[in-house]
Chain A
């Protein structure tokens, strides 16, 4: 379970998150919708532990443990996973090498043994085939030369391998055509489970037709201004964000 309590965050002098309160119970999928610049992506980076942000107040608990003092790699080992809006291209780092390093680093941090190479290969192959990721793609350098769709599928592949407790998907639908969106959504849906929470951050209602959330939160000016059932997304699509800004005022 993820609990965000009165989270305040600034970059330099500018306050971006102004008291976010949000709880995602175990096994649930919550969506955050909001217009550009409302602080959605900032929230995802802060949860994953990016350095550039200064947390000035509040706390973030994962199963009761405050994760704000942890390094990004420690948060990952604790079960946080951020699917990036723009996955980073890293020339010179082979995708397979990276996957193996990440998986084994997390296992080590949790006091588990290294996964054997045959087991690892099998796990990658299994997860990859569900996402139409072939061996050729995995032979390339991490995200280098991947199309937009390939990058997003590779993110979901990582998610499937690392088996996080808390998945944050930042604008996972951006840059995807409808076919790619289906593949990615199916990949995400396959990972829904009773002991895994998800926070789906999106700009458009479109993604939520494919990944159907339990709860929708409307984000505006650095805080959650409204929460409701999945139908809230449709209402938002009809009314636009402006209506909710007024509600908030």
Chain B
């Protein structure tokens, strides 16, 4: 039989916090399982038990607010501070803002989802109709002393509606643990760009779960950027539930010395004629780890699914690791599904070509690194948003 589970300080704190919030069943479950280790397949490369050593106290209501970590000019701003949805002023046409109690996520056998469901006090509730003009920025931050925060947003995009939603994560420079959730449902023929940018403190741990539901003909583009926390993991759970639903699910891990970033997707193609093009990139320097896991499940009825999963890694040091794992689980027989992965340094022959034309090495390297990222940034049509994202990435590239 199994030896009794030894619980670490992070787990003991989490169990206490669950009890405080009246989530006795979850507390009991966590006591029995502990945080996932590498033996749990979906956490194989992000061993939470080993990586998450301490969990700070549950957050109190924020007293002060720092400026947002990234500004998108002209955006409609919403804020969730320490898990609490903040009041707001005037609202653009087609947008209804409210809040509901608890987390917006659907139940799933995943520790981050369960913790969010047990601990998120409330969920920002957004309802979008028609062509929503300004970019919507949801500014999530953890303020004050080191805190554990569970936050949630629920976004419904109506039939034929279109919107661009940017979620940024930041706050004070402390060893926070953020466990954030977004539930995003796209109605018939809705067109949505959903971008998340983690810019939280290097001392902190950032976890995020994004659940996507795509209706008939819905088109989704995501861009997940990890550029902040020392430990970060974003989980993407897209469900293609309507014919002709399609998503470009993209993401970017930027990791420097001492950082660990993980993008894990578990997608379900549930009906015929849906498609997806998940594309994840990682740039790793120093002694760092970037993880990309992509799981595509094609259900028995989901004939004519067209899905291509790609992971590309750029290693800028000898000590960096990039770990990529695709999983294709296909139950339909008439589908086109594939996956690929590349990992390496900058292309030496391209570098030589640029230099042979007079471009100095450092500039040539920057050009090629930008080129590596162009596929992710070029499709972001809103110019000011594109500039803001480019600024975040350039800032990382120039940093140490």
A93, B367: Cβ atoms closer than 8 Å: yes
Contact among A92, A105, A106, A141 with B372 in the assembled complex (CB-CB below 8 Å)? A92
Contact among B358, B367, B370 with A162 in the assembled complex (CB-CB below 8 Å)? B358
Within 8 A of B (CB), among A10-50: 48-50
The prevalent SS among residues of B at the interface is helix
Q: Which of B347, B352, B353, B363 has the most CB of A within 10 A?
A: B353
Closest CB of chain A to B359's CB: distance in Å?
5
Nearest B residue to A50 by beta-carbon distance? B352
Contact among B349, B359, B371 with A92 in the assembled complex (CB-CB below 8 Å)? B371
Within 8 A of B (CB), among A66-107: 71-73, 75-77, 81-82, 84, 87-88, 90-93, 97-98, 101-103, 105-106
Closest CB of chain A to B370's CB: distance in Å?
7
B356, A91: Cβ atoms closer than 8 Å: no
Q: Mark A141-167, 1 if CB is under 8 A from B, else 0.
A: 100000000000000001000100000
Closest CB of chain A to B361's CB: distance in Å?
7
Task: Tell me whether A93 and B371 are in contact in the complex, defined as CB-CB below 8 angstroms, given that A71-B361, A88-B349, A101-B363 are known contacts.
Answer: yes
A87, B358: Cβ atoms closer than 8 Å: no
User: Does any Cβ of B come within 8 Å of A247's Cβ?
Assistant: no
A105, B350: Cβ atoms closer than 8 Å: no
Chain A residues with Cβ below 8 Å from B359 are: 73, 98, 101-102, 105
Bound CA–CA A51/B368 (angstroms) = 18
Closest CB of chain A to B65's CB: distance in Å?
38
Chain B residues with Cβ below 8 Å from A97 are: 367
A106, B358: Cβ atoms closer than 8 Å: yes
Bound CA–CA A72/B368 (angstroms) = 17
Within 8 A of A (CB), among B358-376: 358-361, 363-364, 367-368, 370-375
Task: Tell me whether A73 and B360 are in contact in the complex, defined as CB-CB below 8 angstroms, given that A90-B371, A92-B371, A93-B367 are known contacts.
Answer: yes
Closest CB of chain B to A72's CB: distance in Å?
4
Task: Tell me whether A90 and B357 are in contact in the complex, defined as CB-CB below 8 angstroms, given that A50-B352, A51-B352 are known contacts.
Answer: no
Chain A residues with Cβ below 8 Å from B63 are: none
A98, B354: Cβ atoms closer than 8 Å: yes
Chain B residues with Cβ below 8 Å from A91 are: 371, 374-375
Nearest B residue to A82 by beta-carbon distance? B356
Closest CB of chain A to B377's CB: distance in Å?
10
How many interface residues does B have (CB within 8 Å)? 24
Chain A residues with Cβ below 8 Å from B368 are: 90, 92-93
User: Does any Cβ of B come within 8 Å of A178's Cβ?
Assistant: no
User: Does any Cβ of B come within 8 Å of A242's Cβ?
Assistant: no
User: Does any Cβ of A come within 8 Å of B110's Cβ?
Assistant: no
Closest CB of chain A to B299's CB: distance in Å?
34
Within 8 A of A (CB), among B368-390: 368, 370-375
A88, B358: Cβ atoms closer than 8 Å: no
Q: Which of B356, B361, B372 has the most CB of A within 10 A?
A: B356
A92, B358: Cβ atoms closer than 8 Å: no
User: Does any Cβ of B come within 8 Å of A115's Cβ?
Assistant: no
User: Does any Cβ of A come within 8 Å of B348's Cβ?
Assistant: yes
User: Does any Cβ of B come within 8 Å of A234's Cβ?
Assistant: no
User: Does any Cβ of B come within 8 Å of A121's Cβ?
Assistant: no
B375, A90: Cβ atoms closer than 8 Å: no
Closest CB of chain B to A53's CB: distance in Å?
11
User: Does any Cβ of B come within 8 Å of A109's Cβ?
Assistant: yes
Chain B residues with Cβ below 8 Å from A77 are: 358
A76, B350: Cβ atoms closer than 8 Å: no
A72, B356: Cβ atoms closer than 8 Å: yes
Contact among A72, A92, A158 with B374 in the assembled complex (CB-CB below 8 Å)? A92
Contact among B347, B367, B373 with A101 in the assembled complex (CB-CB below 8 Å)? B367
Chain A residues with Cβ below 8 Å from B349 are: 88
B375, A76: Cβ atoms closer than 8 Å: no
Nearest B residue to A49 by beta-carbon distance? B356
Bound CA–CA A241/B355 (angstroms) = 34
Bound CA–CA A215/B73 (angstroms) = 64
B375, A73: Cβ atoms closer than 8 Å: no
Q: Which of B349, B352, B358 has the most CB of A within 10 A?
A: B358
Bound CA–CA A103/B352 (angstroms) = 16
Chain B residues with Cβ below 8 Å from A98 are: 354, 357, 359, 367
A109, B358: Cβ atoms closer than 8 Å: yes
Chain B residues with Cβ below 8 Å from A49 are: 352, 355-356
Chain B residues with Cβ below 8 Å from A48 are: 352, 356
Bound CA–CA A51/B353 (angstroms) = 12
Task: Tell me whether A158 and B371 are in contact in the complex, defined as CB-CB below 8 angstroms, given that A50-B352, A51-B352, A72-B352 are known contacts.
Answer: no
Closest CB of chain A to B285's CB: distance in Å?
19
Q: Mark A182-204, 1 if CB is under 8 A from B, else 0.
A: 00000000000000000000000
Closest CB of chain A to B351's CB: distance in Å?
9
A88, B353: Cβ atoms closer than 8 Å: yes
Closest CB of chain B to A117's CB: distance in Å?
18
A72, B355: Cβ atoms closer than 8 Å: yes
Chain B residues with Cβ below 8 Å from A75 are: 356
Task: Tell me whether A105 and B353 are in contact in the complex, defined as CB-CB below 8 angstroms, given that A92-B370, A92-B371, A92-B374 are known contacts.
Answer: no
- A selection of 10 A-B contacts at a CB cut-off of 8 Å is A72-B355, A72-B356, A91-B375, A93-B371, A101-B359, A102-B357, A102-B359, A103-B358, A105-B360, A106-B357
6 tightest Cβ-Cβ pairs between the two chains A and B? A92-B371, A92-B374, A76-B358, A106-B358, A102-B357, A72-B355
- Which of B's residues lie within 8 Å of A, judged by CB? 347-350, 352-361, 363-364, 367-368, 370-375
Additional A-B contact list (8), CB under 8 Å, known A76-B358, A88-B352: A48-B356, A72-B356, A73-B364, A76-B357, A81-B357, A91-B374, A91-B375, A97-B367
